[in-house]
């Protein structure tokens, strides 16, 4: 199988670090021209420079900034072939890891604004350009938390579940106009953030890994390869799909009775 992103123009939101950085690197390594976008300008510039792409600052929760991002890409490169809506946040503050009856409303709004509204802004801005072109591929980064309910993070669970259903609805709407919309749902993936939060503590790590059949966290490159496939022409007939990359976490109860 050859992966066809040679010569394509891609945007990756939240591309400065973590999974987004890996996605940007993987797309670039396979021949795409990548616009890295993030709220972190210094890191975003460094990531973009390392892969020969460009950086455009953008807070995805701001409708106008996301439309300006897509407009800038189209003005510079004449088109947009791949839009990866990766930017996302969660909260691990103890005061936010509580049941829904006590979940802080400001945390709810903050997460919904970035993870759900931000993804919609990216989809809509990209779709306007892609419908005009009659071609394009949008990949939304959701989460296993959108596939199965996890406790004590209601804002994140709700946002990611909505992203998955929105992905399907847009696939139905935009398919006739030549635009594919898919999602990738990562399981627990090793980044600087998750290493510090979960994997530096041996007991906590063992507890998390006991739920994952492959007994290890995912690598950011393993998420990026799934995005590369969906973004590419190799997935030309894949539309409205959620590709779960979680080591088997959500495939069943990993427990003995």
Ligand X SMILES: NC(=O)c1ccc[n+]([C@@H]2O[C@H](COP(=O)([O-])OP(=O)(O)OC[C@H]3O[C@@H](n4cnc5c(N)ncnc54)[C@H](O)[C@@H]3O)[C@@H](O)[C@H]2O)c1
Closer CB to ligand X, residue 136 or residue 218? Answer: 218
Q: What are the backbone dihedrals phi and psi of residue 248, each rounded to the nearest 5 degrees, phi first?
A: 95, 5
Nearest to 48 by CA among 82, 11, 8: 11
* Positions 201 through 240 that interact with ligand X (CB under 6 A): none
Dmax (CA) for the chain in angstroms is 59
The DSSP letter of residue 13 is E
Applying CB under 6 A, which part among 80-88, 101-109, 204-212, 224-232 lies near ligand X?
A: 80-88
**19 is an interface residue for ligand X by CB under 6 A:** yes
Instruction: Decide: is 136 part of the binding site for ligand X (CB under 6 A).
Output: no
Out of 53, 88, 122, 247, the residue judged to bind ligand X by CB under 6 A: 88
Look up residue 155 and give its two tokens: 């804002």
Please identify, among the stretches 11-19, 103-111, 120-128, 166-174, the one whose residues bind ligand X according to the rule CB under 6 A: 11-19
Among 59, 81, 96, 222, binds ligand X (CB under 6 A): 59
The total of other beta-carbon atoms located within 10 Å of residue 139's CB is 27
Distance of alpha carbon 195 from alpha carbon 201, whole angstroms: 9
Tokens of 114: 């970035």
Backbone angles phi, psi at 168, to 5 degrees: -65, -45
Residue 125 binds ligand X (CB under 6 A): no
| Helical pair 18-29 and 220-231, crossing angle rounded to 10 deg | 50
Query: Is residue 60 a contact point for ligand X (CB under 6 A)?
Result: yes
Q: What amino acid positions are annotated as catalytic residues?
A: 156
Nearer to ligand X, 9 or 69 (CB): 69
Residue selected from 122, 136, 155, 186 as contacting ligand X according to rule CB under 6 A = 186
Binding site for ligand X (CB under 6 A): 13-14, 16-20, 38-40, 58-61, 86-89, 114, 118, 141, 143, 186, 188-189, 191, 193-194
């Amino acid at each position: 199988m050859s992966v066809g992103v040679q010569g394509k123009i891609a945007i990756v939101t939240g591309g400065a670090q973590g999974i987004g950085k890996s996605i940007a690197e993987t797309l670039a390594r396979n021949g795409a021209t990548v616009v890295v976008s993030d709220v972190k300008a210094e890191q975003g510039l460094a990531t973009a420079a390392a892969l020969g792409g460009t950086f455009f600052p953008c807070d995805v929760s701001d409708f106008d900034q996301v439309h300006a991002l897509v407009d800038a890409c189209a003005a510079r490169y004449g088109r947009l072939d791949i839009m990866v809506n990766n930017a996302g946040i969660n909260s691990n503050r103890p005061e936010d890891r509580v049941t829904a009856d006590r979940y802080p409303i400001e945390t709810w709004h903050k997460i919904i604004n970035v993870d759900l509204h931000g993804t919609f802004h990216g989809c809509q801005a990209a779709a306007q350009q892609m419908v005009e072109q009659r071609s394009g591929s949008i990949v939304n980064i959701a989460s296993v938390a959108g596939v199965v309910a996890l406790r004590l993070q209601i804002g994140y669970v709700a946002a990611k579940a909505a992203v998955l259903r929105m992905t399907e609805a847009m696939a139905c709407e935009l398919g006739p106009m030549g635009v594919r919309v898919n999602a990738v749902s990562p399981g627990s993936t090793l980044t600087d953030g998750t290493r510090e939060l979960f994997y530096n503590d041996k007991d906590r790590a063992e507890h998390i890994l006991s739920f994952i059949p492959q007994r290890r966290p995912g690598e950011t490159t393993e998420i990026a390869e799934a995005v590369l496939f969906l973004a590419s022409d190799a997935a030309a007939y894949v539309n409205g799909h959620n590709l779960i990359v979680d080591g088997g976490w959500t495939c069943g109860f990993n427990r003995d009775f």
